[in-house]
Amino acid sequence: MKTGLTLVASSLTLVGTICLSSFLLTDNGSSFSRDVYSVSVEGEDVGAVEKVQTLDKPILTPETIATNVQDMVVDIESMKLSNIEAFLEAIEIHFDDEYWKQAKEDIKNRAEFYFSSNLRVIEFIVTEGPIFIGARHADKIEWTYYIKGNYHRTGLIEDRGDATSFGSNELFVTVREAHSVDGNPIGVEIVKYLVL
């Protein structure tokens, strides 16, 4: 009898742990989020309470910059080519407005080449990096990172006898802090994108 109760208790503990872990891992913080308020302690409005507007990505550290760079490169190099113009519109947000005018044509040419080769969905898997190369201190600080990854194809490959992996590339990506229309920091934007 004791063995049966111990087994049931252990099973319930295990199930409870799995359910709680699953909930915490899938929750994006919305279940535990609270509004943040600020109280004025100086000036004419002493005691005034205002809701604080929190930022999406307010702090840039080497780790957050590297994570942003990796996410952007994977988004750009993992091409979904059912509609090339829609793909280009989707990735434009990663680039500085001025630099996008230069980069768009290169990315469009590569996308059209893949499309003409019967590739519709290309996945880019990072194998090395992002590795911090250096920073340039000008009006705005720019950081350069190195990334290497492999391409994998999905789509019309019946006529091919080879594997889904079809090559690798090395990239040097230079970014700087990006700001919203309000002037709040919102991560980084690409100012140079070099595919070797």
Record the tokens describing residue 151, joined without a space.
């391409």
Residue pair 191/176 in contact (Cβ under 8 Å)? The answer is yes
pLDDT at 118: 78
List, as one string, the DSSP characters of 75-124: HHHS-B-SSHHHHHHHHGGGB-HHHHHHHHHHHHHHHHHHHHTTEEEEEE
The domain limits of the chain are: 2-51, 62-195
In angstroms, the CA 30 to CA 50 distance is: 21
pLDDT at 31: 43
pLDDT at 139: 82
Q: What is the pLDDT of residues 70-105, one digit of tens each?
A: 999 999 999 888 889 999 999 999 999 999 999 999
CATH number for 62-195 (one of 1.10.287, 3.10.450, 3.30.420, 1.10.3470): it is 3.10.450
Q: Averaged in consecutive runs of 10 residues, what is the pLDDT profile of the chain (196 residues)?
A: 62 58 46 57 74 62 88 92 90 92 92 85 89 86 93 62 72 89 81 90
In angstroms, the CA 145 to CA 126 distance is: 13
